[in-house]
């Protein structure tokens, strides 16, 4: 393909995003130009074995400093990483090669490392909130959180689509047990037994909820994740998109290109998930972004396995629509111990939705690139 590599990289990484200079101080969604990713060829692969043990958490030791020292991928490597596998519910599987055609502008990430405490996953006091009561659980934004039958969390991002982490489906070498019969669970109120009414003493307990399950029709996982060895750099590609067999009929949350940590309101991100230390509960939390690379957000939100795959969202002002809008800008991936000059620190890591990833996920959802040009 005739493409000027240096120009490509210059535009993709070095030109700061068009930051709207507002007269107000509202945190405003930046305008991102998104590249075009289109499938070029699709080939059949043999049926996978579904022999990997499902893991609710990935952990790695390569932290922000380590990640920042990785060489920038070449255009060829990017194309390889953005290729993807599609798994169908009948067990068949395809590999799709993609073409990447237009360039995007993106702010270069910078160091923003903060001093951090040395605890594991729960940082200091546990600051997670159980979300109780069907008035909350059944309403936006909490109603967009769904549970995967493999144990992770996912988020509704379209009428039939759920965004989650790749490791909930595939361990980097093989599909996990249960990936073929993957289902997505929606919290629904339990049918009241004989109209007994609520439990006034324990309002949380009266709104008994249960999961109602919908089968997954197909699953997309980027090749950047499927490398045969689950290495640290693979965490950059820890995302997957599930298509349901039928529409879920709930409100969903849009995806958007991740602004930098500094652009976020109070530098904060939010997510809700089904942490496995609180079975049956949807758990909400928010925290500050501590550091970032082009592909990852490092934070110390309290989280336990089971929350992985949760959509990380923020609420910012949409200038063109003149309203506040929440969008998913990342996917909660897992936990990392990081050796910083002999000082062990740990972070929870979220995969950022970069312009390229936005283009890919959006294409998976819409099936065309025309509707995917504004991140
Ligand atoms: C499985 O489903 C896909 C998509 O519906 C179809 O293209 C493929 O032929 C099916 N494979 C088998 C073995 O039935
Ligand atoms: C209300 O819920 C609590 C805790 O589950 C239970 O102990 C109590 O018996 C319930 N009361 C009624 C009236 O159902």
* Residues 296-343 pLDDT 10s: 999 988 888 899 999 999 999 999 899 999 999 999 998 877 766 777
Closest CA to 302 of 284, 318, 280: 284
Which residue owns the Cα nearest ligand 1 atom 14?
90
| Residue scoring higher pLDDT (217 or 201) | 217
Return all residues near 258 (Cβ < 8 A) that are at least 6 apart.
297, 329, 330, 352, 353, 354
Task: Return phi, psi of residue 239, to 5°.
Answer: -145, 155
**pLDDT tens digits, 92-111:** 999 999 999 865 444 433 33
| Residue scoring higher pLDDT (202 or 45) | 45
Measured in Å, residue 132 CA sits from the centre of ligand 2 at 15
Chain-wide mean pLDDT for the chain? 82
Instruction: Say what the pLDDT of residue 356 is.
Output: 93
**pLDDT tens digits, 208-217:** 788 999 999 9
Measured in Å, residue 264 CA sits from the centre of ligand 2 at 42
Lookup: tokens for 219 = 């699953």
**pLDDT tens digits, 118-138:** 334 566 667 788 887 777 788
Please name which ligand lies nearest the alpha carbon of 196. 2
Of 36-40, 105-109, 174-178, 218-222, the least confident: 105-109
Over pLDDT 90: what percentage of the chain? 54
Ligand 1, residues at Cβ distance < 6 Å: 88, 90, 92
**pLDDT tens digits, 11-56:** 454 334 444 444 457 899 998 888 999 999 999 999 999 999 888 7
Instruction: Confirm or reject: Cβ of 213 under 6 Å from ligand 2.
Output: no
**pLDDT tens digits, 70-83:** 888 888 989 999 99
Region 189-213: mean pLDDT is 64
Instruction: Confirm or reject: Cβ of 192 under 6 Å from ligand 2.
Output: no
Is it the case that residue 60 has pLDDT exceeding 90?
A: no
Q: Are the CB atoms for 74 and 8 separated by under 8 Å?
A: no
∠ at Cα 202 (201, 203), nearest 5°?
Answer: 105
Measured in Å, residue 103 CA sits from the centre of ligand 1 at 34
**pLDDT tens digits, 249-307:** 999 999 999 999 999 999 999 999 999 888 888 999 999 999 999 999 999 888 888 99
Measured in Å, residue 208 CA sits from the centre of ligand 2 at 12
Closest CA to 221 of 166, 156, 157: 166
Is it the case that residue 176 has pLDDT exceeding 70?
A: yes
For 267-278, b/e burial (b = at least 16 CB within 10 A) is bebbbbbbbeee
- Measured from the Cα of 201, ligand 2's closest atom is 1
- Measured from the Cα of 218, ligand 1's closest atom is 4
Measured in Å, residue 226 CA sits from the centre of ligand 1 at 21
Region 345-352: mean pLDDT is 88
Burial class (CB in 10 A: 0-12, 13-18, 19+), 71: exposed
Instruction: Say what the pLDDT of residue 117 is.
Output: 34
Instruction: Confirm or reject: Cβ of 197 under 6 Å from ligand 2.
Output: no
**Which 8-state DSSP code applies to residue 85?**
E
Instruction: Say what the pLDDT of residue 185 is.
Output: 96
Mutation pick for ligand 2 pocket among 204, 205, 209 (CB with most ligand atoms within 8 Å): 205
Mutation pick for ligand 1 pocket among 43, 92, 95 (CB with most ligand atoms within 8 Å): 92
Axis-axis angle for helices 75-82, 355-366 (nearest 10): 30
Is it the case that residue 186 has pLDDT exceeding 90?
A: yes
Instruction: Say what the pLDDT of residue 354 is.
Output: 95
First to last CA, the chain: 25
Over pLDDT 70: what percentage of the chain? 80
Q: Are the CB atoms for 242 and 184 separated by under 8 Å?
A: yes
The residues carrying an active-site annotation are: 167, 232, 308
């Amino acid at each position: 393909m005739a493409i000027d590599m240096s120009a490509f990289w210059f535009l993709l990484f070095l030109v700061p995003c068009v930051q709207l200079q507002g007269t107000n101080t509202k945190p405003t969604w930046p305008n991102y130009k998104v590249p075009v990713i289109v499938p070029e060829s699709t080939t059949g692969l043999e049926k996978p074995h579904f022999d990997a043990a499902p893991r609710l958490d990935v952990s790695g030791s390569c932290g922000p400093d380590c990640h920042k020292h990785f060489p920038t991928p070449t255009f060829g490597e990017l194309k390889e990483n953005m290729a993807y596998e599609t798994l169908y519910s009948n067990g068949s599987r395809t590999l799709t090669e993609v073409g990447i055609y237009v360039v995007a502008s993106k702010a270069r990430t910078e160091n923003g490392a903060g001093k951090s405490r040395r605890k594991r996953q729960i940082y200091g006091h546990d600051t997670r909130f159980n979300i109780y009561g069907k008035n909350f659980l059944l309403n936006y934004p909490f109603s967009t959180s769904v549970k995967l039958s493999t144990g992770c969390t996912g988020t509704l991002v379209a009428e039939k689509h759920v965004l989650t982490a790749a490791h909930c489906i595939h361990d980097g070498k093989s599909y996990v047990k249960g990936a073929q019969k993957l289902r997505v669970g929606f919290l629904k109120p339990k049918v009241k037994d004989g109209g007994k009414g609520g439990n006034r003493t324990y309002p949380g307990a009266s709104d008994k909820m249960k999961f109602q399950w919908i089968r997954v029709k197909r699953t997309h996982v980027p090749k950047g994740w499927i490398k045969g060895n689950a290495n640290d750099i693979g965490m950059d590609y820890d995302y997957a998109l599930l298509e349901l067999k039928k529409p879920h009929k709930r409100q969903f949350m849009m995806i958007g290109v991740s602004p930098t940590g500094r652009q976020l309101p109070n530098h904060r991100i939010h997510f809700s998930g089904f942490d496995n230390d609180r079975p049956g509960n949807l758990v909400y939390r928010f925290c500050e972004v501590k550091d970032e690379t082009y592909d990852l957000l490092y934070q110390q939100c309290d989280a336990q396995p089971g929350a992985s795959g949760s959509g990380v969202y923020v609420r910012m002002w949409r200038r063109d629509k003149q309203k506040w809008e929440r969008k998913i800008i990342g996917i909660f991936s897992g936990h990392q111990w990081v050796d910083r000059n002999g000082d062990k620190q740990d972070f929870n890591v979220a995969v950022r939705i970069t312009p390229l990833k936005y283009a890919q996920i959006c294409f998976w959802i819409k099936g065309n690139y025309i509707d995917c040009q504004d991140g």
